[in-house]
Amino acid sequence: MSGKNEEDFDVPEEGPQRYSGPGPELTPAQSEIKSKITSSRPESGFKGPFPVWLVNPPICDAAQNLGRVVRYETGFDQNVTETIICMTSSYLGCVAEWMIHYPIALSNSVDHTLLEPLLLHFGNWPSDLLDHLSSESPFLSSILKITYNALVNKGKFEDPEYKECVNVVGEKVLQDILSIVGYYTYVGLTLNCFRVSGK
């Protein structure tokens, strides 16, 4: 694993966090959204991308609502959702997103053999990475393939691949995967751009 573990992933070396969100004086709309998010996240609190998003309250509110849906209302077990999120953060090289979700993935019994290649090739996926992401479950194998395709090939499936995936998981699951990948790509881009810490 190239000597890497979750403790190694902190704010990128490029420099300190660039922007921590509006403050200390918030507008009424910003205060309302911040209170709403804080009360709905008693354990994790108001951190991650939310302080940055708060500069535009309607976007912040819409984004946190979408995040709740794609993370908890797809019907996936949490281990599947966290696998998709970890794949997304690894592909993007998003340190903060990985620091937040890697421990959650482990606590939800995500197979460490799926996480090891993502950590080894963090932010620099080789062309054969999918060969190292295997599962005995046809369902999970299709999810890994779809997630890989969504990230690397920008969702462009060849017709045989598309038909194979739809035959195994169906259109709803396919769309749910794309929604998770899309949302956490947005999260990852925010965290990367503003160098947000995952702590």
pLDDT over 80 (residue 104)? yes
Beta-strand (E) ranges in 53-109?
none
pLDDT over 50 (residue 197)? yes
Q: Are 95 and 199 within 8 A, CB to CB?
A: no
Say how many C-beta atoms besides its own lie within 10 A of residue 191's C-beta: 28
Q: Are 180 and 84 within 8 A, CB to CB?
A: yes
The domain ranges of the chain are: 78-194
Q: What pLDDT does 129 receive?
A: 93
Q: Are 89 and 196 within 8 A, CB to CB?
A: no
pTM of the model: 0.90
What is the average pLDDT value for the chain, to the nearest integer?
89
> 29 or 43: which carries more pLDDT confidence?
29
Q: Are 97 and 195 within 8 A, CB to CB?
A: no
